Structure 1
């Protein structure tokens, strides 16, 4: 991934989020890390376009976001839409899962990630 200027505040926040993962993030990271999912390279808490993506596969320009219940309240759903739209504008595909999906059906989440990559016309 090309090096871009990332604000010290954003970099520090990403580092904190890597250190303080939610239980669902830790479970999914266990499947994504070290090329475990069909050899795909994912990074976690990666700053992209002023946002911090939960998980990102740069090769396929795929971002995986995990959402807790706070993403269903207040202005957060609208902010998520703006964020997704901005990331799509710069060529990324964003897929979202509820934390509960990861906790109850981790294999299904991984299968869906692979299906999205295949839908983009990529081999995995």
Structure 2
């Protein structure tokens, strides 16, 4: 176990996910990086316990997940529910978006994230 408490296997998995991000993750990441100008630091594919969050804002304890087709299967839904329950127990608020929603309505997803973070919605830079 590392000094941060993150299992090295989980850390390697997160690194691989960062290298192999999906089209939706890449688009949302470009938009979320813009929040840095407003004092919000977003990390992508960040380990939290034994899980890896697509995006996380540790200062606000917000996790942002993009669910692809696999998340529709019963076993995956069960895993996601268990994971969300654990994250919520740790004090995180989990926002979930479908991959198609990110690809078809990126501006709407960014608006929803901004609202959840308590940020202004109008006048933000468009990716």
TM-score of the superposed pair, with normalisation by structure 2: 0.86
Closer/same/farther in 2, CA of residues 37 and 66 from structure 1, 3 Å limit = farther
> What are the within-5 Å matches in structure 2 for residues 74-113 of structure 1?
74-113=74-113
Cα 1:55–1:115 change in 2 (3 A) is: same
8 Å CA contact 1:64–1:95 kept in 2: the answer is yes
Q: Using a 3 Å threshold, how does the CA distance of structure 1 residues 103 and 36 change in structure 2: closer, same or farther?
A: farther
- Contact 2:5 2:49 survives alignment (8 Å): no
Partner of 2:16: 16
1:52-85 alpha-carbon deviations (Å, 9 max, x no partner): 0000001110000000011001310111011001
SS in 2 for 1:28: helix
Corresponding residue of 2:54: 54
Measure, in 1, the Cα distance between the counterparts of 2:37 and 2:47.
22
Deviation for aligned residue 1:37 = 7.2
* TM-score, with structure 1 as normaliser: 0.88
Q: Give the root-mean-square deviation of aligned CA atoms.
A: 1.6
> 1:83-103: CA deviations, max 9, x gaps?
001000010000000010110
- Whether contact under 8 Å (2:33, 2:41) holds in the other structure is yes
Q: Which residue of 2 aligns with 1:6?
A: 6
In structure 2, stretches of 5+ residues that fail to align are 121-127
For these two proteins, the number of residue pairs brought into alignment is: 118
Three-state SS of the structure 2 residue aligned to 1:18 is helix
Residues 28, 106 of structure 1: 8 Å contact kept: yes
Query: Any runs of at least 4 consecutive aligned residues in structure 1 with deviations exceeding 4 A, and if so which?
Result: none
